[in-house]
Each structure stands twice: as structure tokens, then as C-alpha cells.
Structure 1
Amino acid sequence: MKNLTGYLKKILSLSSLVLAFFLLLLSNQNVRAAEDQFSVTADFTHGISDTSIDTEAIITIASEKPRVVSYFTTTIPQENLSVECYNASTSKKLDCSSHNRTGATDIMVDFNNAIVKPTSKLKLRITYHTALEKTGALNIVSSVQDAVTKSVVITYPKTNGEPLWTSDAMQNLKSVNNNYQITILKPIYTSISILFGKSISYQFTISKTFSNTLKDQNQTFELIVPSDSTTQTIIWDNLTPLPNIAEQDEDGNYIFKYILAPEDTLDCNIQGHILKRATITAKNTPEAFLTTALGYWKTSEKLEFTRIISYIKNKGIKITDGFTNIQDVDADTQQLIIKYLYQYTVERLNPQKSLVSGVITDSRVGFDNIVADPNEANPSDYTDFLITILRKYGIPSRQVIGYVSNISGYTSDGFYNYWVEAYDTTQQKWITMDPFLEDYSSKPLYGNAFFDHIAILKRGKFPVAPKLTFYKDSDFKVTSSSEDELIPELKFETQLVFESSNTLSKYLKGLINVSNTGNIAINEYALGESNIENIKKYVDPVNNINSQIILPKQTATLQLNVPNSINTSNVFVNIEFSNEDYSESVLSASDTNIQIPIYLQIITKAISILSFLGIIYLVYFLLRRFNNKQNG
């Protein structure tokens, strides 16, 4: 029930005053117009074609008391609409006028003194058309001011395929002739976002300028860029110039390093695409440091964890007061505990409502101080709080700083944000959780696919490192991509060669040269079958690519130090290169020709000549002696 002021204006003509007064007497009530109570709901139907969206909104006005309505005013949060109005019960066209302003269209409908009774609701049908914008996400406004949207039905051609993602959960998807029909009940957002296809893609650009102001030495500049993970794949379209070094740290972050000569300047321009997808199974077990309590994730609090245990018990979970390890319960209970720890965070903290969306630069206060003052919490406070309690119970977790795109309608453009990833050992998957955004937007987000969340860097080993290297809006730009489906390509060329050696050397140096000819990075490799037994132990401890990523158009070298005692004729080795769920194997082979140094060749030839001369002299000596005996 909402107050009439703000969305209904009732103008009673002289002829209707008598009737209104009579009805009020019948209901034995004496209520002033400003206190009249109405309930207003809306049901939307959208028909999508190749060029436009045809919308019909049924607005239902109800009252617990008889009322006379002359005019009804409302606002649709979409500008430049040309509307038509009808009485939905009689299909009679009504006089209505509209006023366009920035971001909205105000509508006034003449109901001609229609009567609203508890048993007779007033229904208004508003129709309008909007142009279909060819963008990555389809955003459809489905709300009117001061009304509760009960349902949204969207019909679209089957050629678009089934929806990959919707901002509000679908209650039904059915086939109707050549169309699909989506039904969403009680949506939370004013605009419904829909994405089609097999994956969601974004186009991004990075523009940075580095300047070495030193006069007598080189300087190295680092750039943190979006990395491949279990939720996203990076396609690199352009890297100008290629970094001198491209590394992956223990948290999986991609770090580009550019080495500049004294007083040199470098313009770095990077373009690519980010493909978001449903979370895949993690290949590697989380590192032990992801459950370590340190820095902002360390606490001396005891009372707070007593509250948490009580909270979990009240949810029906049977655990002891001394519960500290999530591995002590079964798989289903583990998943519930992770969910309840998230919900506890949302309920325990209160967001800073005056906050402007974006990464907070204020100093962080840590878990204990957040507990002392849980109000006006910023995004990093939410992540620090949640990571602390997750790690308290042995749940691997890490902080993520990234970019939230505009496909979900939080803002007209995107914004930076903090969120959390927790590892579910039962599913072997990382779960994305954004407690601040749920609290701030008042929308339940647990279990969301988070296709709008683009990870830039992750902090698991240290609470404050690495640092975000984007400081201006122009440094990093993201837009939804409307291109056809992009295909990640893991391609490479390899060559196995052995450098010149000598018979006196203890080792024979082998080089595996790898060139990335695809469009995604190679971030992991594994040596497999070879005719050299246990070839992995001969990988050079320094000249390897363990922490290195190989970007498109980049070349890297893996060095082998093979003992000379091993037969290295016709060496082959099977190598697997991978990028999360993309992997390819190659069989690299080489004929080993050991070249003898020139000085050894000279000595060998000299020995051979001397041996030959010695043999000739011996034969000559024997023949001469034989002849002497014959003559004697």
C-alpha cells in the first residue's frame, strides 16, 4: 500500500463531489484526500522483433475503500516515449498526454471520474514502441513509478537462441511457434537484462604511458591486466608493444613488465576481448596460504565467532561450539555453511549508502575494527570481513578487485568494485560472492553467475598486494561486445634443438623454443612422454617458463640439461600447453649431432696421421727385416 501523494492526483469535479461524499458515508469513513490509500501494480508484456520492442503495460489500481479517480499520473523511466492509453477492461481508448524529460516520460491519463471499489479494480493499458539497440546485452525497462511490477513476459524470435543469462531469475521459458517466451515474476530491477549466445563477451582497451625520468639507469614498470581464470578467458587482439616480461604470480595474476632506458617514454596500447562463462572446475588444489589469517584478515575477536556459531545453528546446522574446520562436516553441510557465512556478512554490516560506485581508496581498518563499527561499511570492509570468517573455518578465499559492467543495470556505465572468491572443495570450484553489492542494491545475489563481474586482480597471499595499476578512466575501458561468437585459439609452434657441445662436457644443452601463434596466452605447460627417462628432472632450474606466460606473438625457451651419458640420438618429448580448460599437446623431436671442437678435431687428426705413419713405418721395418733375412 502506497500513499496517494507522488503517483496519483485525484481531481474531483463538482458533479462527483456528491457521489464521493455519498460513498464515503456508506463506508462510514471520514478520510481526507491526502490520506487516501491505493495499491498500484504493473504487468509488462514485451514483444521483440528485429528492429523494435513493442511494450504493453497493464497498470492495476486498487483501493480498500470506494474512490473516484479523475486523473492518473505516472512515470516510465525511459525517455522519448510515444504512448497510447486504454481502459484495459473495456478496451476504450483514453485521453492521455505525455511529457518527455531526461531519462523518463511522465504520463497523465484522464479516467473521466472512474470509480475504484474493493471489488472493482481500475485497469489501465499503456502501449508504446522502442527501437531495438544492437548491443551485447538486451535491456528492457519493466517498471513504472510507485508501482510494484508483478510479472514480465518477453517474447522474442527463436533465432536468438535460448537466453544465456537474465538479470532476474526466469520462472518459465517456453516455445511459442517461432518464438521463445520468458516469464519473470516479481523482478527486482527496473530494467530486465538478457544475454544470448554461448558466452558473454566484452571488448576492452588498456592505454598507459610510462616514462623513465632517471638519467643513468633502466627502470621497470609493471602493469596488472585481466587474467584467465575459471570464470573468464582473455582473447588478445593487439599488444603494442609486447612486454619485455610477462609473468603469472601465485594468485594467478598476469603482470606485464616493461623495461625502459634512461629518459625514455613508452605508450602502451592493448586491445582484446573478455569471454565470461559459467564457472568451470579448478585444475589445481588451492594453496595453503589461502586459509592463512594475516593482516586485515587476522582477528583476536571471540564474541563475534560465538555469534556466528549461534547464527549457523539457528539455520538448522548441527555443529559444536568449538567448530573450526569445514572439512569436519559432510559435503551438503559445507555448501550451506559457506552460504550462511555470506548471509551473516550481509546482515551484520551496513553499506555506506552515500558511496559513489568505484574502488575505495580510503585506508582499510581490518576485521576487529569493522566489528566495532559495522555501519557505513565500504566494499573492501565487506570483503575483509567475509574472508576473515571464511578462513577461520578453513575455507580457502581471496579478495578480487575488478570491474562491474553495466549489463545488470546498476549504473549507466560500469564501475570498479571489490568482491570475494571462496573455494568449495566438494565441487572443486571457486564461488563468486559480492556481499556489498547485495546489501547496497537490496537484491539477493548469492548463487548468481556474475557475468557482469570482470576480475582484474586477486589477492590471496597478501591482503594489500598486488596493487591496481589503473588510476584514470582512460586507463581501462570495457564495453559489451556485439560481435559474433569469438573463438579462443590455443596454437603454438615448437622446436627442439641441441646446442653444440663437446665430448668433455658433462651435460648436453637442449632448448625447446615455443612460439604462441594463437590468440590466448599459454599459462601452463607439462612435459610428458619422452625417450629420455624422467626428462622433467633435467629442466634447468633458472631458464624455464614455470612462472612465465607466453602471449600471442611471443616466443619463450625451456632449457634442458641432459647428461652426456644418456643416449640423445633422435630425442623426442611430448609437451602439453594449456590455458585453464584449453589444452593442446605436441610431439617435439630432434636429431642430436654432437659437434667436436676444432682443437679436438686437429688433435684427433694428428693422432690418426701419426698412427697411420707409425703403421707404415712398422710395415716398412718388417718388410726390410724380412728382405735382409732372405739376402743373408
Structure 2
Amino acid sequence: MRKKLFLLSILAFLYFGRAIGYASDFSIDQTIIYNCGFSETCLVSNSISITNNTSEVFASEYTLNTGLKDVSKVTALNQKSNALSTQVDVLNNQSVIKIFFDRPILGKGNVTNLTINYETKETIKYTGEIWEISIPKITKTQEVNNIKITVSVPNNFGPLMYTVPRPNKEETENNRFVYSFNGADIPEGINIAFGEYQLFNFEIYYYLKNDNKLLSQTFEVPFPPNIKDIQKVFVSKLNLKPKNLKVDENGNYIAQYKLEPGEAERVEIYGLIQIFNKEINPAKGGDFKDIPQKIVEKYTKPKKYWESREENIIKIANELLKKDGTVSENAKRAYSYAVNNLKYSVERTKRSYLERFGAVKALQNPQDAVCMEFTDLTIALLRAMGIPAREINGYAHSEDISKRPLSVFYDNNKDLLHSWVEFFDPEFGWVEIDPTWGQTSGLDFFSKMDVNHIVFVRKDDPNYPLPPGVYKDETSNKKSVTITFGNKNLLKENLAPLDSFVSKEKKFSPTYAFLITFLTAPALYMIYLVLRGVLGEFKRKG
């Protein structure tokens, strides 16, 4: 009887993995344990059972793609705890471990057991006030019967903030929290965080100049807003008190500064921002009929870049819409469409000028997307489906810009900004989602946002208001936005809540538009800046 040598390769963590060879020849069971600790290292133990389904084929070696670049101290043991030869290669920024069997097991029904161990710092981070575990998504290949994943952490990591998805089992043993998952239930990876909130220091300046020689002007600039249950802002320094500070209908905190003819001012605001977690269960979302009509009318209209009435957008939206689903379940379908059909382009981010494509052109150039295209396509699809949606511009902290890209520039003298999406569900209110990071990280940024996104502005108009980071002194290379992790002890200091600066008057003064063109691109995207100002009085000298 002729025996066939077969190189078995299980790509358990690849985004688009598949087994090489005949899947029906073998059956695989995997148990993966992540033991993570205060050294910001996870010890990973991958126990694998390979069952022969035929007597004519046997496995002589085994290849595992970890889905991680950072792995070390790789070992492999057979079922008798004897060491096996290994080889580690890095392909496409991912470590691939190859194990060579000393004695391949022959015969139908016979089982080969092995254990692959390694260490990684890539799946655990301690940032600010938060411990975060991030395990890449798993593609279950044909020959894999079962995948079980266990995550174990010290029980003094702090309170559990969230775990996505929900584990099948939670328990405490040997002073550790242990979370167990079924691999079939985690198509978007595992994300677990511990802590009460994230805390950031912020320093923002706005350079304002009235080039008009005859008229005074009132400039409007946005401060980072308070958002109920999500974002809380405290001010330690505000060098110039605004004429007015109002909260607009999108929840933006808009400060007005009046400048005399030829006058220039540098407004500086420093403080702390607390970010809290908000997690949703899409299946428990609200019904379309319960969305207030005023919100539907305002936030489902087509806008520039959000072409929700374009033929192809409508066609896709109709295919995605499930009328018996909740608002959030349908929003998830739009989010997933953008995640699965666009690809983030690192090369495009390095260009000095970046054209904003909009939703329609993003579909025509799916391999050339950055955060703007993910945002615009998702908003257009949501609006076409009848789901209110708007844009968010802000800052997002990232430890790995390849998996969680920050902005369209890498120049350290530029302000690093990010763009994401907010949709409205009558059960949850406004919900933030990030399809860009959903695509680049393989994690779920729909059911929960991490606590590393800081909202600067929420926009029903793609071009207004412009976020901090745009109001720069073009003669200076200094960043106008600086974000660092804060210390919770600073919250005990005498800080002023942002709301204490809000004016009591309910309405803005009438505004007029002034068109200014930037000669260099702001960090988020190149656009024409429209400043709104109040007409002043003519001033006569002498």
C-alpha cells in the first residue's frame, strides 16, 4: 500500500487561513491557553490533537501561523513530553512555527498529540489605567473540529470593564480570573479590558487670526465635549475665556472668540479627559419605528461624501437590510460590509495631500481606503438603510499603528487625528463604532468601543465643525494637540468641569462664513476651512 507524505498546516489565526492538503484526511482539536501577567507577557500553550481519518495518509510536520509578529521562547513537545524540532519564520509580519514529528503515527483512527508553547507581549498591554488583552480573530479551517480558548489573568488586574465576546464560562482559581471561549463563537477575536476608566491629559491650542482690516470677527472653535456616560472633561487651564461657550444640537462645545481687525490670539486649553466603556448587545437594540422622526429626518439625508441616494449605495443597503432585525443588528451589517470590503492603505497615508473619496469612490477603490473612506461608506450605508448616522473626528491612542492606525500622517510634527462613526438606536441612544480598526485589527469595534478614543467633534456636516488640530499657526511646526496618559491622583486637584464654562444664553449670535484655504493639509484631511464670524463695527482711526 502506498503511503502519502502530507504537510499539514493549520492557520488558526490568519484572517484568510485554510489547511493545505486534503481536509478530510485529518481531524484537529485545539485547546489554547493564554496565561497573562503583570510583566505584560502572555505564556501561550497550544495543545493539538491530530486524528488520522485514513490509513493512507499521515502527518510528518505541522505548521502554525500564530497571527502575531512578536513570539519568543518557542518549544514543542510530543505526547511523551519529548522535545520536537521547530523552525520559526516571519511571513507577512506574522510568526509561523513549523514542527517536525520524530515518529509520525500511522493508521486510521490513531492520534498524534503535541503541545506548542511560546511567549508574546503582543496580546497584552497596560496603557494608562487599563489592562487590555487582544487576541486575533480565528478562522476555523475545515479539518478543525473544535477550538477552545482560555484566558487567565491575575485577579488584581482590577474590575472587569468588558469582554467581547462573552465567555462561555467565568471562574476564579488560584487567585486568577479564568475566561473560557468556544472558538466557533469568536469570529472577530477576543478583547478583554480591566479597569474603571481611561484617563488622558490634553493640551490643545487654537491659533486664530483676523486678517480683516476693517471688521471685527467672532471665530468658533470646538472644545472636547462631555458625552454622558462616555466622556467627561475637566479643565486645568483656559488662558482666554470665550465670549460664549455653547452646546450645539450634535453635542459639540463651541467656543466663540471675538477678534478685532488685524488681531491674532492663541487660545490654550489644558485638562483631563475620562473615557468610560459603553457596550451593547445588538440583539437587544430598538425598533426602527421607535426612532424619533426629527432624528430620522436630520441624520439620514444624503450629504457630500455620504451619497446615501446613489444607485449602488441603495442597492447594497437594500441587500443588507433585514426588516425583522433591530436597528443595531442592521447597523452591524453596514459596519461589517465596510470592514469586509475595504482594505486600509498604509501607503496612501504617506502622501502629502489626501483626496477624500466619499462613499461612492471608496467602493470603486476598495484597496485604497483610510479612515475617511471607512467612515464615509459606513455612514452612507446606514443612512440609506434609514439608520441615523454621523461622523466623529478625534484622537485615538494606539500601541500598534499597523493594527490600529491613527491618522493619515506619520510626521511627528503633524497632529494625529482619526475618524469614526456614530449611529442612533432608540434603545441605546448614540453608539460609537470604528470600522477602520475593525478591519485592521480583526477585533470587534462595534459591540464595544475601547476607552482609547477621544471625541473632539460630532458632525452632521462633513466639513463642520473642524476638529482641534486644524487651527494651527502655519509658521510653527509645533503640534496643536498633545495627548498623554493621565494620573488618577490629578482628579483630586481643583479642576473645573467643562460645563462650568457653558454660557447660560440659549442661542448663538448670527454667523457669516469666511472662506480660507490651507496651503498645507491638516492631519485629518485636506479641505477648505469655513470659519464662522459675526460682523463687527467699522473702526475709524484719528
* Corresponding residue of 2:341: 350
* Deviation of the 1:227 alpha carbon: 0.9
How far apart in 1 are the matches of 2:147 and 2:315? 40
3-state SS, counterpart of residue 290 of structure 1: helix
Contact 1:96–1:110 (8 Å) recurs in 2: yes
* Deviation of the 1:108 alpha carbon: 6.4
TM-score, normalised by the number of residues in structure 1: 0.56
How far apart in 2 are the matches of 1:200 and 1:66? 53
* Corresponding residue of 1:401: 393
Distance 1:474 1:158, change over 3 A: same
* Corresponding residue of 1:255: 254
1:165-224: CA deviations, max 9, x gaps? 23554332212253221123335577x543212333344343555566778876665543
**Share of identical aligned residues, percent?**
17
The one-letter amino acid paired with 1:185 is: N
* Equivalenced residues, count: 453
Q: RMSD between aligned alpha carbons? A: 5.2
State how 1:409-420 maps to structure 2 within 5 Å. Answer: 411=403, 414-415=406-407, 416-420=417-421
The one-letter amino acid paired with 2:161 is: L
How far apart in 1 are the matches of 2:329 and 2:48? 38
3-state SS, counterpart of residue 82 of structure 1: strand
Q: Does 1:466 align with 2:443?
A: no
Distance 1:32 1:183, change over 3 A: closer
Q: Does 1:421 align with 2:429?
A: no
Contact 2:382–2:388 (8 Å) recurs in 1: yes
In structure 2, stretches of 5+ residues that fail to align are: 10-19, 286-290, 408-416, 471-476, 509-542
How far apart in 2 are the matches of 1:414 and 1:200? 18
How far apart in 2 are the matches of 1:123 and 1:424? 48
* Deviation of the 1:163 alpha carbon: 1.7
Question: In the alignment, which of 329, 340, 357 is matched to residue 339 of structure 1?
Answer: 329
* Corresponding residue of 1:5: none
1:578-620: CA deviations, max 9, x gaps? xxxxxxxxxxxxxxxxxxxxxxxxxxxxxxxxxxxxxxxxxxx
Distance 1:172 1:66, change over 3 A: same
Distance 1:270 1:260, change over 3 A: farther
Q: Does 1:69 align with 2:29?
A: no
State how 1:502-581 maps to structure 2 within 5 Å. Answer: 519-522=496-499, 544-546=504-506
Distance 1:120 1:178, change over 3 A: same
The one-letter amino acid paired with 1:295 is: K
Distance 1:484 1:113, change over 3 A: farther
* Corresponding residue of 1:453: 453
* Deviation of the 1:521 alpha carbon: 1.6
How far apart in 1 are the matches of 2:468 and 2:62? 56
* Corresponding residue of 2:176: 179
How far apart in 1 are the matches of 2:478 and 2:32? 37
In structure 1, stretches of 5+ residues that fail to align are: 1-24, 318-332, 490-516, 526-542, 549-632
1:241-269: CA deviations, max 9, x gaps? 24434332232112344556746563735
Distance 1:96 1:235, change over 3 A: same
* Corresponding residue of 1:600: none
The one-letter amino acid paired with 1:399 is: E
How far apart in 2 are the matches of 1:214 and 1:266? 17
How far apart in 1 are the matches of 2:279 and 2:118? 40
Distance 1:182 1:224, change over 3 A: same
* Deviation of the 1:458 alpha carbon: 1.1
1:37-88: CA deviations, max 9, x gaps? 688876432334444646142253747664463797876835473344432x
Contact 1:224–1:457 (8 Å) recurs in 2: yes
The one-letter amino acid paired with 1:424 is: D
Distance 1:366 1:127, change over 3 A: closer
* Deviation of the 1:464 alpha carbon: 2.4
Contact 2:392–2:421 (8 Å) recurs in 1: yes
Contact 1:350–1:374 (8 Å) recurs in 2: yes
* Deviation of the 1:291 alpha carbon: 3.8
* Deviation of the 1:116 alpha carbon: 6.8
The one-letter amino acid paired with 1:347 is: Y
The one-letter amino acid paired with 2:421 is: V
Contact 1:400–1:419 (8 Å) recurs in 2: yes
How far apart in 2 are the matches of 1:30 and 1:197? 51
Contact 2:308–2:384 (8 Å) recurs in 1: no
How far apart in 1 are the matches of 2:401 and 2:171? 25
* Corresponding residue of 1:44: 32
* Corresponding residue of 2:535: none
State how 1:267-416 maps to structure 2 within 5 Å. Answer: 268=268, 270-278=270-278, 290-291=298-299, 293-296=301-304, 297=306, 301=310, 305=314, 308-309=317-318, 312=321, 315=322, 317=323, 333=324, 336-340=326-330, 342-344=332-334, 346-347=336-337, 350-354=341-345, 362-364=354-356, 379-388=371-380, 390-391=382-383, 395-406=387-398, 411=403, 414-415=406-407, 416=417
* Corresponding residue of 2:154: 157
